[in-house]
Amino acid sequence: MSKQKSASHEPFVRMSKRDGLPLWKSLGVRLIGLTLALIVCAVIIYALTKLNPLRVYAAMVKGAFGTNKRVWVTIRDIMMLLCIAVGLAPAFKMRFWNIGAEGQILVGGLAAAACMIYLGKSMPTIALLVVMFIFSMLAGGVWGTIPAIFKAKWNANETLFTLMMNYIAIQLTSFFVAKWENPFGSNTVGIINQMTKAGWFPTVFGQMYTLNVIIVMILAVLMYLYLRYSKQGYEIAVVGESENTARYAAINVRSVIIRTMAISGAICGIAGFIAVAGASHTISTSTAGGRGFTAIIVAWLAQFNTFIMVGISALLVFLQKGAIEIASQFDLNDFVSEMITGIILFFILGSEFFINYKIRFRGGKKEAGK
């Protein structure tokens, strides 16, 4: 009787956290999620537009990889998003919610632009690029350190603090755009050093974005090694799990917070350097372009593994380029293309649930040990 009563009160669905899935299984779950997303999108596309979904998907591929120029622009944007995600990885692994990547990118870009404007006529390009890299890294690092100090010393809310720092960076950028505007009255900086190309990334192996790839991939490899194999990476993981445990293990939590955010901000500052020197060759309030927030998705989905971030960054940039292409090619409303992107992202994010949790129905096989 008691067994029947107990069974009747058992929840119909129970979920429990997984200890972990092998890499091939987690990739398989994500692939299933992506496949289901494409099927659902195909049904919606046909229902709303009567278009052949395969034609729409082909157009998305064309939008990202249709020409050699498009391929390299897509690679450039992937590297930019990846660089920011790499910068966010140590902070988020430490459970420091760095929502300020946008501002850190902007101040890094400002530092790079200032070097191009004030030093472009007096330094050779290689030396100028080195100076730009250093100052952008320092600017982003300082911008990331400020909220870290307030968090470490006075337990300030890092989410709000870093978010507010974005607005300060935007206003700072607006001030310098007005100061450097060219031509006068345009309220834009214009292309910096357009004639001399001082401070521009040189072409490598015949491509203008090769240096973008080299810098970002070096950062991704170094960050992977840093988080996984270094003593400081271990300290970041321990602080992220429990600050009390970290203190018990004689880890200086304040130092770890400040140091980690300095690194996080510095890499985001380097992203600003890449955006100015290796892409737009100008500075504006839209230089970051919202990628500081998109990179949060990349970092979380990859579980701070910088190699997995490469694939996720590629997928998100592909979806963005594809959405633009189908909106123009099929004269679709922007909301339709954005809806397709949203559905695909929803399924990919949803697949993370099944990677991290397992579900058992009433009357099903009991979990091991119960």
Give 213-236 pLDDT, tens digit per residue: 999 999 999 999 999 999 999 999
Confidence at residue 29, expressed as pLDDT on a 0 to 100 scale: 86
Task: Assign 164 a pLDDT band (cuts: 50, 70, 90).
Answer: very high
Strand partners, 137: none
Q: What percent of the chain has a predicted confidence (pLDDT) above 90? A: 68
> Using one digit for the tens of pLDDT, what is the confidence trace for 263-275?
999 999 999 999 9
Distance of alpha carbon 49 from alpha carbon 47, whole angstroms: 6
Task: Assign 328 a pLDDT band (cuts: 50, 70, 90).
Answer: confident
> Using one digit for the tens of pLDDT, what is the confidence trace for 174-202?
999 999 998 877 789 999 999 999 999 99
Confidence at residue 249, expressed as pLDDT on a 0 to 100 scale: 93
pTM, entire model: 0.90
Distance of alpha carbon 250 from alpha carbon 265, whole angstroms: 26
Confidence at residue 64, expressed as pLDDT on a 0 to 100 scale: 92
Q: Out of 51-60, 248-257, 278-287, 288-297, which region has the weakest mean confidence (pLDDT)? A: 51-60
Distance of alpha carbon 72 from alpha carbon 209, whole angstroms: 7
Is residue 94 a contact partner of residue 239, using CB atoms and an 8 Å limit?
yes
What's the mean pLDDT in 45-50? Answer: 84
Is the per-residue pLDDT at 7 higher than 70? no
Q: What percent of the chain has a predicted confidence (pLDDT) above 70? A: 94
Angle at 269 between CA 295 and CA 104, to 5 degrees: 70
What's the mean pLDDT in 152-157? Answer: 95
Tokens of 91: 């902070």
Is residue 83 a contact partner of residue 270, using CB atoms and an 8 Å limit?
yes
Is residue 361 a contact partner of residue 12, using CB atoms and an 8 Å limit?
yes
Is residue 110 a contact partner of residue 176, using CB atoms and an 8 Å limit?
yes
Confidence at residue 6, expressed as pLDDT on a 0 to 100 scale: 53
Confidence at residue 113, expressed as pLDDT on a 0 to 100 scale: 97
Task: Assign 365 a pLDDT band (cuts: 50, 70, 90).
Answer: low
Angle at 200 between CA 61 and CA 135, to 5 degrees: 110
Higher pLDDT, 200 or 52: 200
Q: Are strands 357-361 and 13-17 parallel, antiparallel or unpaired?
A: antiparallel
Distance of alpha carbon 88 from alpha carbon 268, whole angstroms: 8
What's the mean pLDDT in 78-107? Answer: 97
Higher pLDDT, 340 or 134: 134
> Using one digit for the tens of pLDDT, what is the confidence trace for 280-292?
999 999 999 999 9
Confidence at residue 329, expressed as pLDDT on a 0 to 100 scale: 85
Distance of alpha carbon 341 from alpha carbon 352, whole angstroms: 17
| CATH, domain 74-329, list 1.10.150, 1.10.3710, 1.10.10, 1.10.3470 | 1.10.3470
Inter-CA distances, 235 with 92, 149, 230, 317, Å: 13, 18, 9, 33
Is the per-residue pLDDT at 151 higher than 60? yes
Is the sign of the CA dihedral 167, 172, 174, 177 positive or negative? Answer: negative
Is residue 177 a contact partner of residue 285, using CB atoms and an 8 Å limit?
yes
Tokens of 13: 């669905």
Tokens of 26: 């987690």
Distance of alpha carbon 101 from alpha carbon 295, whole angstroms: 9
Smallest CA-to-CA distance from 112 within 351, 284, 258 is with 284
Q: Where are the domains of the chain?
A: 74-329
Confidence at residue 8, expressed as pLDDT on a 0 to 100 scale: 54
Is residue 172 a contact partner of residue 107, using CB atoms and an 8 Å limit?
yes
What is the separation, in whole angstroms, between the first and last Cα of the chain? 20
Confidence at residue 48, expressed as pLDDT on a 0 to 100 scale: 79
Confidence at residue 367, expressed as pLDDT on a 0 to 100 scale: 47
What three-state secondary structure class fits 357?
Answer: strand
Residue matched to tokens 């970092």: 299
